[in-house]
Amino acid sequence: MKDRLSDGTKVSRWWNQFGLGEIVEEWNRAQQIQTVFDLLSPDYRRAIGSWREVAAVQPRYPQGFQADFRRGQDLALLLSGESLKEESHRNQPKFLTE
């Protein structure tokens, strides 16, 4: 998402302009998704935009390498059927719910 197209536009901006967020929202609507766990990096989040039609749980991650490691841990928890709770993340960031 940080790369640039031949005209100099960032890929994340291009996706945002051409409706990636709307495509994802449409899919959420069709699947009757009510809550999303947004583990996206800032660049990917900019490409999608804000979550308008669903509640979004958005953990705050530190900048840099550790952020990807923590996102991976959170994804593993979700895929195993566990929930993301502040108590289960001893040194993890606080969570936001919009």
Q: What is the pLDDT of residues 38-94, one digit of tens each?
A: 999 888 888 998 888 899 988 888 887 788 888 899 999 989 988 776 434 444 444
pTM of the shown model: 0.70
In sequence order, the β-bridge partners of residue 26 are: none
Residue 98, pLDDT > 70, answer: no
Mean pLDDT across the chain: 83
Can you give the pLDDT at residue 60? 85
Predicted confidence (pLDDT) per residue in 8-21, tens digit = 999 999 999 999 99
Whole-number pLDDT of residue 90? 41
Whether 70 contacts 58, CB under 8 Å: no
Q: What is the pLDDT of residue 85?
A: 62
What is the rounded CA–CA span in Å between residue 61 and residue 91?
11
70 Ramachandran zone, left/alpha/beta (phi>0; psi -120 to 50): alpha
Q: Please report, for residues 11, 12, 43, 47, 63, the alpha-carbon distance to residue 8 in angstroms, rounded to integers and kept in the order given.
A: 9, 12, 16, 16, 25
Name the pLDDT band for 4 (thresholds 50, 70, 90): very high
